[in-house]
Structure 1
Amino acid sequence: MKGVLLVNLGSPDSTNPKDVKKYLDEFLMDPRVIDVPRWARILLVRGIILNTRPKKSAAAYQKIWWEEGSPLIVLSERLQDKVKQKTTVPVALAMRYGSMTLQKGLQELVDQGVTEVLTIPLYPQFAMATTETIDVKVEELRKEFFPQLEVSSLPAFYKKPEYIDVLSRSIAEGLENADYEHVLFSYHGVPERHIRKSDITKSHCKIDGSCCVTASEAHKYCYRHQCLDTTRMVAEKLNLKEGTFSTSFQSRLGFDPWLQPYTDRTIERMGLAGTKKLAIVTPAFVSDCLETLEEIAMEGEEIFHEVGGKDFTVVPCLNDRDDFAQLLADWIDQWRLKDLKTAIA
């Protein structure tokens, strides 16, 4: 019997600094998030970050927390419910970090008699700190607790035409009544070294302005290329004119170089340059979360207004849109009827 596990990032159980600290410890101690030797990670995370950041992050979560709970969790649950209504395959939900663990999600499927699982990381683009860490953790759990399970994973789906159709439609609807001069595509940032580590050719990814537009098998695991390609495909779909859109990266941590240009500095620079009306979309996020609701919609707007900007529009993520839920259900049914690689890879 086949079953599906939808997987998102996760969230603290509450906005209490203790819960936020617990969540951040699990998240930041992941060697695929902060990829330094364990001793250095412990020193950085538990010796420095967790002594200062939990209170600040808790305050940020308090700004965006819903009555039902964490927006990311609530929206993911709504999406799960809609997908379940559109397919006959059992569909469970888990988070990579937090109390809604991958082990609980797999166990829920096993308890229903599932022997073959398709995991769907809810990340359109591949990255070490998102898709890869889910796949690795699921395999660890399978070996330890579920050796009878056969597990496969949905590949990065950023360039699937049907996904670009849904994403473009959602952005077009979000911009329909907006007054804007420029559309900024903001993606979650990652350290530049993650790009090089994910380069299966060990030589192509130089982050030099040309490698991402030069054909290579490295693009299968290149987050930067996949983000730029997402922007390009959506811009083409929406007939955005050259110069009226651009790409940036947000949420950097530490002092090592991260993917550039940085979103906050881009917003500031554009405002100082005279842009009065800015719209932002966040295609790396399937569900609205702290990074979209607080970092972009609140902090980003504040930066823009401080430098003279006027109208600031943030387009919602796909969240639990009916067409997105239907797309996931279609992929699930294709996998149910055929081999994953021939159906949706």
Structure 2
Amino acid sequence: MTKKGALLVNLGSPDSTDPKDVKKYLDEFLMDPRVIDVPYWLRSFIVRGIVLNTRPKKSAEAYSKIWWEEGSPLIVLSERLRDKVDDHTGIPIALAMRYGSMTIKKGLQELKEKGVTEVLIVPLYPQFAMATTETIMVLAEELRQEFFPEMTFDSLPAFYNKPEYIEVLSKSIAEKLEGLDYEHLLFSYHGVPERHIKKRDITKSHCKIDGQCCITHSPAHKFCYRHQCYEVTRLVGEKLQLKEGTFSTSFQSRLGFDPWLQPYTDRTIEKLGLTGINKMAIVTPAFVSDCLETLEEIAMEGEEIFHEVGGKEFTTIPCLNDREDWVRVLSGWIDRWAIVEVETAIA
């Protein structure tokens, strides 16, 4: 007899705001070959020779600004989501982080101790990217082969275009904007290097990042982060009947000097303020849980940039976090997977 369970996986967080903990976390994160995808010697030089000598202190200060009494907001919100999903589903649910002390290995061990042999891995990212979904699945498979050979894995595909996800995301935006006389809504997604897009082009020819490839149908879109981000913006825009010119897409959190997806969020916020936009709102649909990138980089730094160039009102829309409608959607996907798998086995 097999027993099914699901493992929710998010990005991760340092254990504390101490620079030593932040340095340890950044080392694991940035040394991932799917995050900084250059040869090991060069990655080590960049990360351990340069970045980790300066960034941990600055990042620790940023984490200190958003840290909750219960701990890291990302961890706390993910735990709340796990608990609610566990209450709504009929199979065991565990939570893990790709980086940090809440490891995927621990999450799988928790499920194993509950008798689980078939695991649905749920990357908590709406869009596919090699630095998010792919690195989770690669590590999970390595762990399965070494420590959990009795287990089998399935994974929840990117859900950026699922109607129920778009419905919940659109509703969360509409609720926050209700009664606000905003002039522009910015959809800000986490950035990735342009080379990541081209590396995951399964056609080896479609992704040119030229303004047309993302709106021209192609099998490449299954693994194209850029297309999937723009598609979320388009679908939400249609759902909320947003007028052309009142919303746009940008990308945040770039690192290093290589070309990253553009337009950049910080420069877009600055441009909006300089061109006379006085009231703007911003949503971050690459994340389902609020974290450093939403609470500090956007809600604090982004607002500061907007005010510096003359903007007046800056509204940040929370991530889905543990909203009841989002919990129901995620729980439904998990239960449907479990039911289909059982029915298939019976047949």
Q: Match for residue 18 of structure 2?
A: 16
1:241-260 matches, within 5 Å, as: 241-260=243-262
Paired residue for 2:272? Answer: 270
Describe the superposition over 1:74-132 as per-residue Cα deviations: whole angstroms up to 9, x where unpaired.
Answer: 00000001001101100000000000000000000000000000000000000000000
Note if contact 1:281-1:314 (Cα within 8 Å) is conserved in structure 2: yes
User: Which residue number corresponds to residue 338 of structure 2?
Assistant: 336
Q: Show the counterpart of 2:290.
A: 288
* Deviation readout 1:253-277 (Å, 9 max, x if unpaired): 0000000000000000110111000
> Which of 173, 177, 180 is equivalent to 1:178?
180
Q: SS of 1:323's equivalent? A: helix
Select the residue among 124, 127, 137 that pairs with 1:122: 124
In structure 2, how many angstroms separate the alpha carbons of the residues matched to 1:128 and 1:87?
29
Aligned residue for 2:96? 94
Instruction: Tell me the distance in 2 between the aligned counterparts of 1:134 and 1:17.
Output: 25
Q: Distance in 1 between matches of 2:180 and 2:12?
A: 31
Pairwise CA RMSD of aligned residues? 0.9
TM-score of the aligned structures, taking structure 2 as reference length: 0.97
Task: Give the secondary-structure state (helix, strand or coil) at the position aligned to 2:192.
Answer: coil
**Matches for 1:45-194 after TM superposition, within 5 Å:** 45-194=47-196
Question: Deviation at 1:176?
Answer: 1.3
Equivalent runs, 1:31-46 vs 2, <5 Å: 31-46=33-48
Aligned counterpart, 2:304: 302
Gaps of 5+ in 2: none
Report the alpha carbon displacement of residue 210 of structure 1 after superposing the two structures with TM: 0.4
Verify the 8 A CA contact 1:264 1:303 in the aligned structure 2: yes
Segments of structure 1 that go 5 or more residues without pairing to the other structure are none
- Paired residue secondary structure (1:218): helix
Letter in 2 for 1:117: V
Q: Which residues in structure 2 correspond to 1:207-246 (within 5 Å)?
A: 207-246=209-248
* Other structure's SS at 1:5 match: strand
User: How much identity, in percent, do the aligned residues show?
Assistant: 78
Task: Say how many residue pairs are matched.
Answer: 341
Q: 1:212-256 CA distances to partner (integer Å, 9 max, x unpaired)?
A: 000000000000000000000000000100000000000000000
Deviation at 1:323, TM superposition (A): 0.7
Does residue 320 of structure 2 align to residue 318 of structure 1? yes
Instruction: Give the superposition deviation at 1:177.
Output: 3.5
- Contact 1:178 1:313 (8 Å CA) reproduced: no
Looking at structure 1, the residues matched to 31 and 309 of structure 2 have their Cα atoms a distance apart, in angstroms, of 37
Displacement, 1:339?
4.2
| Alpha-carbon displacement from aligned partner over 1:170-226 (angstroms, at most 9, x marks no partner) | 111111143310000000000000000010001000000100000000000000000
CA distance in 2, matches of 1:117, 1:177: 44
Aligned 8 A contact 1:179 1:311 in 2: no
Letter in 2 for 1:63: K
Normalised by the length of structure 1, the TM-score is: 0.98
Distance in 1 (alpha carbons) for counterparts of 2:219 and 2:112: 36
